[in-house]
């Protein structure tokens, strides 16, 4: 079962614009991660934000986390055609012994040149 839900399911923007994707989850977490997947390929880790952090930056990526709302957002600034991919949020659980990541259904991002 999928814990996270991304919104929107698909997003199409012009190169240079900013892209924002949202993720909501259901249970308490240790951390939340964002991954990227190019079509037909494996997933690549982008960024991890811990439950006691509210915002994190990495290059053109900005992630926020609101644990009271059980939600996160991923902002990609100054988008490029190469950013076209699917983006997934993933959460772990605070349940003792829960060591797996549970992924959302993803946002398909298309950057138009």
Q: By CB under 8 A, how many residues form the interface with other proteins?
A: 25
Specify the 3-state DSSP secondary structure of 43.
strand
Query: What torsion, rounded to 10 degrees, do the Cα atoms 80, 15, 7, 42 define?
Result: -30
Task: Tell me how far apart the alpha carbons of residues 66 and 30 are, in angstroms, rounded to a whole number.
Answer: 13
Q: Is position 88 an interface residue for other proteins (rule: CB under 8 A)? A: yes
Task: Tell me how far apart the alpha carbons of residues 9 and 110 are, in angstroms, rounded to a whole number.
Answer: 11
Among 18, 41, 57, 94, binds other proteins (CB under 8 A): 41
Among 19, 21, 25, 33, binds other proteins (CB under 8 A): 33
Q: Is position 51 an interface residue for other proteins (rule: CB under 8 A)? A: no
Q: Which positions lie near other proteins, rule CB under 8 A?
A: 1-2, 4, 30-31, 33, 35, 40-45, 48, 88, 90, 92, 99-106
């Amino acid at each position: 079962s999928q814990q996270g839900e991304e919104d929107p399911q698909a997003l199409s923007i012009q190169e240079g614009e900013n892209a924002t994707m949202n993720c909501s989850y259901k249970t308490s977490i240790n951390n939340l991660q964002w991954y990227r997947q190019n079509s037909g390929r494996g997933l690549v880790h982008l960024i991890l934000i811990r439950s006691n952090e509210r915002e994190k930056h990495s290059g053109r990526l900005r992630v926020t986390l609101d644990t009271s709302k059980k939600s996160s957002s991923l902002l990609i600034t100054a988008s490029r055609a190469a950013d076209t991919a699917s983006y997934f949020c993933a959460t772990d659980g605070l349940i003792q012994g829960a060591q797996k990541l549970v992924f959302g259904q993803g946002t398909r991002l298309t950057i138009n040149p």
